[in-house]
Structure 1
Amino acid sequence: EPVYVKAPVPEEATGCGVTEAPRGSVGHWMKIKGKKISHYQIIAPTSWNVSPRDDAGTPGPIEQALIGTPVEDVKNPVNVLRVIRSFDP
């Protein structure tokens, strides 16, 4: 049984796919015109996790997790890196 089957490409189409990945939500959006991809966008978990504060002033997940994180050595902020890597290895 083949592991790849070539799918027909429509003349024009719009589609999206959104799912949960181990690090968070991921979404893909695409438009096809003339049987070619004319627009493509991905929003990866990193985009959500590293996002800045929203319009209401709510911090993004990583920013929120960093609040109060002790920094013993500013030249080697190990705890800050650990927090960030827990979201985005």
Structure 2
Amino acid sequence: PVAKAFHVPPEAEGQGLTDAPRGALGHWVRIKDGKIAHYQVISPTTWNASPRDEKGKPGPIEEALEGTKVGDNALLVAGRIVRSFDPCMACAVQ
């Protein structure tokens, strides 16, 4: 069968962490009164496109873009760099 019946407990918490093709992926859920009270996803994009940290270290995409020569094909080159980390960014940011 594609789906299997399951029981949702009235109170529960759970998390799942894995290494996805684009990087680390995490899901967190909290069940209260038999319903989803909180659900959080941290996708690889969150890490790859992250801003600088408290020590000033840039995220992976920013770091890869630093020093890229600006010229006639700068947008094309920048787009390729970004998509090499996260192909979904091309559709999400225009």
TM range (shorter): over 0.9
The corresponding residue for 1:4 is 3
The corresponding residue for 1:72 is 71
Number of residue equivalences: 87
Where structure 2 has 5 or more consecutive residues not aligned to the other structure, the ranges are: 88-94
TM-score, scaled to structure 2: 0.88
For 1:1-41, what per-residue CA distance to the aligned partner results, in whole angstroms no more than 9, with x for missing partners? x1210210001001100101000001000000011100000
Counterparts of 2:61 and 2:27, CA distance in 1: 23
Where structure 1 has 5 or more consecutive residues not aligned to the other structure, the ranges are: none
CA contact (8 A) 1:29 1:40 kept: yes
Counterparts of 2:5 and 2:70, CA distance in 1: 53
Runs of 4+ with >2 A deviation: none
Q: CA RMSD in A?
A: 1.2
Tell whether 2:24 aligns with 1:15. no
Q: 1:71 offset after TM fit, Å?
A: 2.1
1:77 is paired with a residue whose SS is helix
For 1:23-62, what per-residue CA distance to the aligned partner results, in whole angstroms no more than 9, with x for missing partners? 0001000000011100000000001100000001110000
- Pairs within 5 Å for 1:1-89: 2-73=1-72, 77-89=75-87
Counterparts of 2:61 and 2:21, CA distance in 1: 16
Structure showing the higher helix proportion among its residues: 2
Identity across aligned pairs (percent)?
57
